[in-house]
Amino acid sequence: MKNATMIVLVLMIGFALMLAIGCVPTKVWIGSPTIQTAGNQYYVAQLEPLTMGHKFFVSFRLTVTNKTDKNLEIDWNKTRYVHNGRTRGVFVFKGIIPKDIKNLTIPSDTIPAESTYSKVISPYECLARAPIRDSSKGISKPGISAGIIPTGENGILLVVRQKGEEVVEKLTSNIQEKEVQ
């Protein structure tokens, strides 16, 4: 009889745990607006927060359409990540050299006349750095990846040049974390 009572008790606790786990809210991240657009006589820029397969935002897709008949250049050394109204450093992207970030010698990107440019960028401030691992164990994941973009106002202070003239646009999106049942 003692064993039967113990089995029933274990089953009841297990059932209660399964019910409790099923009721745990799930968190979702929402960007509003999903794509922010700004423009001027030189270009139209769009900024879209991206999850890149995660449940949270880690990067942005920047798309710039050159409306002129001359080339434009994005100045990555002056372009800044904006969080809650404050500039918080530069953006990083695939192919960038760490030395260029440190020395602020990031090469500009050229947008040819009347064409569209797009790049996935991440705030340097939000980078996730993996702990040092023993490569002899076969772990070959990169040590740095895009990290979680915090809740609040997030965006870009975009600096674009044409023939020495700088044109600045600010694009932001409000990122919220919500619980859903």
Q: What is the tens place of the pLDDT at every residue in 24-59?
A: 567 777 888 889 999 999 999 999 999 988 889 999
Q: 108, 161 in Cβ contact below 8 A?
A: yes
pTM, to two decimals: 0.79
Coil, strand or helix at 95: coil
Total domains in the chain come to 1
Residue 15 in domain: no
- Residue 2 in any domain: the answer is no
Tokens standing for residue 33: 């607006």
Dihedral sign from CA coordinates of 134, 135, 136, 137: positive
In a domain? residue 33:
yes
Residue 3 lies in a domain: no
pLDDT in tens, 105-131: 999 999 999 999 999 999 999 988 766
How do residues 95-106 score in pLDDT, each as one tens digit? 999 899 999 999
Asked if residues 35 and 46 have their Cβ atoms less than 8 Å apart, the reply is yes
Residue 111, domain member (yes or no): yes
CATH of residue 79 = 2.60.40
Contact 44, 67 (CB under 8 A): yes
Per the domain annotation, does 12 fall within a domain? Answer: no
Asked if residue 118 belongs to a domain, the reply is yes
Instruction: Report the pLDDT value the prediction gives residue 118, as an integer from 0 to 100.
Output: 98
Query: Does residue 67 lie in a domain region?
Result: yes
Range of the domain at 170: 27-132+142-180
